[in-house]
Structure 1
C-alpha cells in the first residue's frame, strides 16, 4: 500500500510540475491509395532513454495498456494494430513483471478505405493513449494526436492491396509463453476429442466397425491388436495429414484471404456436396450389404482366404486403415469446431505454426481414436458369446436401418447446396419416422429381412425390447418436431436430443425470416454497423453456419432466455453465415479469421461501431454464463463512450 501511495504522489507531482512528456508521437500513411484498398498507418513512438510505454495486447496488473485509434470519414474497416514484440522484464515501479516498449517503436495500423470513397485528399486523425514510466516515476496517462493526409486516386482496387495482412504481434514471454500455448493446445485437443466421442456424427460408423472387425476376428492369421492399431492410425493420421496440408499450403502466405480458406478446410470437407453425396451412397451400400441385398463379403474380399497368410494380413491392415480414414471424414461435421481451431494455428504458415498444429492434431487424433480402437477390439469378446445365429442377424439388420438414416443425413447436404428441394427438413424428419417404424415392425416380427429363421410375430426377447424402447425414445422428439411447423423444431426436447436431431436434419426454412422480423441483420454487416453507429449502441456479431448444430441450439435454447434477451435488446444484432458457397460468406469467413483468428462456429463478438474495436468475444456452445458475457460487453461499450 505504501508503494502505491508513493507512486500516486509522484504521479501527482509530475502532473502539476511538468508540461513536457518524454514520448514523441508521429504518424504517416501509405499514399496514394484507391477506394477499397488497405492502407497501413505507421505510428512511431520515440521515447527518451530509460522511459517506456506499455504493450497494447500483453496485459499485467498495474500499468495501463497503450491504445491507438483512427478516425476518418474514408475508413471503412480496421484490422488489429500490429505491435513489435514487447520486452517482458521486472518493472520496479509496479513491483511486477510487465510488457513494455522502449526506444523508437513503430506500430502499424491497417485500415481499409471505403469502397464509396471519392478521389481526393482526406485527413486521418490518429490518437495514441499511453502511460509512460521509468524505474521511479510515471507520467499520468495521456492521449497524443497526430493528423496524416492520404490521397485517394481514381481506379479499381489493386488485387494485392484488398486484404489485410496477418502479422504477429509478438509472443512476449519466450519459453514461458510457448509453454502456455502448448498447454492450451493440449487441453483444447483433449477436451475437444472427449466431447467429439458423443457427437452424433460418429454413430453411423459404429455398426460398420463391429461388422468389419467381427469378420476379421475369425481369421487366426491376422493379429487383432495390429489391425486395431492400423484402424486408429487411419483416424488419427487423417487429422494430422489435414493439419500438415494446411500448414504447408499456407507456408510463406501473408494474404489473409488465402489463409482463411485454408483454415476453413474442415468446413469444406464437412459441407462439400460431392463428398457428402459419396458418403451417402457409401452408407446406402453398407445398409444393403447388412440387409443381404448386396451379397458382397467386404471383409472376405480384403482377407481372401486363398491368398497366403502374409498377403491376407496385409490386405486386412490396409482395409482397417482405410476404414479409419472413412470414419474420420464422416465425423468431420461434428469434429470441425475443435479441428478448425487447430487449423487456424496451422494457417499461420510458419514453422512454429505447423509444429504447434501438428502437436495439437496428434493429441486430438490419438485421444479421439482411442475409444473406437477399443471398440474395434470388441469382437474378441464374441468368442465368449453363443455362436452367431438369429441374434447376430437381428443386430446386423438393425444396424442396416441405422445406415439408411445416416445416408439421408449425408444426402440432404448436396440437396441443399444444389437447391434440388427433394430433402427439406420436414421430409427428412418424415424419413426418420418411417425408418423407425419399419425398424420397430422388424423387431416385433411383423416381417422378415435377411436369412433369419424362427422369428414369430410379437415373440420379442429382451434385446429387441431394449431396441424398441430406444427407437421409440428417438422417434418421439422427431415426431413432435414434425408437428411444429414452420420451423419443425420441438422446443421442449432435452438438449442432448436437440443437438442430435440438429446434426441429422437440414436447417429450418424460416428461422432467418423470424430473426429479421425480430430486428436481426442477416448477412448484412455494413448495414448493421451503420445502424449501431446511428443508434449509439454496441454491435453484436453472431458468426454462424448453415450446418452448425450448436449454432441452432444456442439460437433456440440460450438466446430466448430472459437474461440473455435483455442484453441482446441493448445492442444491434447481426448474423453472418460463413459456410455458404458464395462470395459474401467467403468475405465473412475472412473477416472472422483476419480479426479474431478463428474459423469455428458459433463465434460471438461485441464491438464498438465507432472504430470497430472488440469489446468482448466468445466461441462455442455457452449454455451458462452467456448473459454475463453480453453484459460485460455492453458495460465496456458505455464505459468507453461516457
Structure 2
C-alpha cells in the first residue's frame, strides 16, 4: 500500500514539474536605477541593478570561475562622453558555497539580488544605456533559464522624461501580455494539481494509521442519533474541520517556510541523517518491535474536548484524526507541499484543499450514516500485514537519506554496490514474508496465500532479479534517482565493455563540417548541427526527421539527461541512425555578424548573440524557455509528437523517439 502511495506522491511532483516546464519562466525580475537623481558633473554615482527572485530559484553572480559551468551575469554598456565607468559591476552580498555538481565554488543570489556599477559623471545631460544577461536555476525542479534585459537611464535634458515615459509604457504593454498568458496557463496547472492531490487524499485513507479511525468516527457520531438534523450538521462540520486543519496548517507551512526550507531538508546532512533514523524507527515499529503513539498529553487534551459534544467535540474529533493519522499522511502531504510551494500563495492552498477534501469525504459520510460501518472489512491480520510491508519499504527508502549525507561528505559508507546489496536483501525478505515464510510478533496465522499476496511476492522477487545485474555495473536506469551514482561503483563491468567495444549504432559516412562545430559538440560521439536552418536542410537531404535539442552550457539537467538517458544503447542507436540532431544552445555568448541581428517579436529586443537568438526561437515557436526541451520535427518544422522535457525514464524516451519516427514515415 505504501508503495502505491509513494508512486502517487512522486507522480504528483513529476507532473507539477512538467507543468512548470510548459510555461514561460521569469524567475528574476530586474529594476535598474541611479543612486542619485540630481548628480552634477564630477560626481561619483552608482548604477543599481536589483532583482526580486522567486522562491526555489537562484540567479548566478559574476564573481566566480566562469569555467565551472554556470553562466555568470554579464553587462554591456554603451560608452559615451557623458560618463566614465570605475571598475566593474560588483555584487552586493552574494551567497557563496561549494557546488558538488560543478565541483567548485559558485556565487549566487536567492530571494533578492543587487549589483552596482560606479560611474563618474563627465557631462550633462547624462545618458547610461546597455544590456545584461543572466542565468537562473531552480533548486526544486532543476530547470535553468536564460534571461536578458536592457536599460537606459538619464539625468538632465528634455529627452530624459520622454524616454522614461516611453520605456514605462513599453514595459506595461509587455507585462500585460505576459500576465494574460500566465493566467490562462495557471488555471490548467491548478486544476491538475487539485486532481492529483485529491487522488493522493483517497490513497491516504487506506494507510494503517487512518483506516482504524473510521470505527472511532462512527462510534462518536452514533451518540447523536436522538436529533438527526443536528447530528448531520455536526458531521458536516466535522468534515469541514478536517479540511480546514489540513489546508490552513499546510498552507502556512508552505508559504512561511517554503521551498528554501525544503531545499535545506533535502541537501543538508543533519536533516538527512535525522530522516534516516526516523524511517528506521518507524520500520522497527511496523515490524512489531514497539508501538509509536502521539504524546499522551496531546492526544488526551484532544480526546477530552471530544467528550464535550456539539461543534467543539466535532472539531476536536477532527483534530485527533489529523494528529493520529499524520505519521502515515505526512509523506503524502509533504510531497504536495514541496510540489506546490514555488513562491505562490494559491498553489499550496489548492493542493492541500484537494488532498483534505478527498481525505475528509469518507469520514464525513460515515459520520452521517454510521450504519455503513457494518459493510467495512474488519481491521486485523490483513492490516498488520500492510504495516509489515510498509516496514520493509521504510527500510529501503530510508537508505536514500543516509546516501545523500554519505555522498556529500564522502564517508564511503554506502557505495553503489553496498546500497544495492541491502535493497536486494530487503526485497528478498519482503517476498518471503508475503509467501508466509517469515512471521512477526503481531501477525495472525496464515492458513493459505491469497492471489494478491502471491502477485505482490512475484513483483518483489522480480524486482530483485532486476537489481542483481546492478551489482556488476548495470546502469539500472529506472532507479537512478534512488541509488548512488555509477561513479561510486567499484567493479563496473558495463563500463569495461563499453570502453573496449564502444556503443553500437550506424554513423553516417557523410563528411561532417557543421556550422559552429569547431566550438560546440554533442556527447557520446554523436554528430549533429548547431544551426537550425543548416540542420533542417541536412534532414531533407538525408530524408530523416529532426531531433531538436534546446540545451545550454550551464544546464545541469541537460547534462543529466545526456549522461543517464542519451547514453543508453537503445536511445543512442536511434539518435545516430534515425534522426538528424540539431542542438541549439540558448546561453552561448558567440556574437553574430551585425547583418544577422534582428529585433524579437516577443520582447522587442535586438538579438545579437547565438544564444539569445536560439532562446528567442524557443520562446516564440514553442512558448517555453526552460531546458532541456526536445522536439521531433518533420522537414517543414511541424511537431511529430508532443515535445518532451526533463525525464529520466529511458523507456519513455525510446517510445518518444519511436513514435516520432513512425509519424514521420506516415
TM (norm. structure 2) is: 0.47
**RCO comparison, higher one (Cα < 8 Å, 6+):** 2
TM (norm. structure 1) is: 0.49
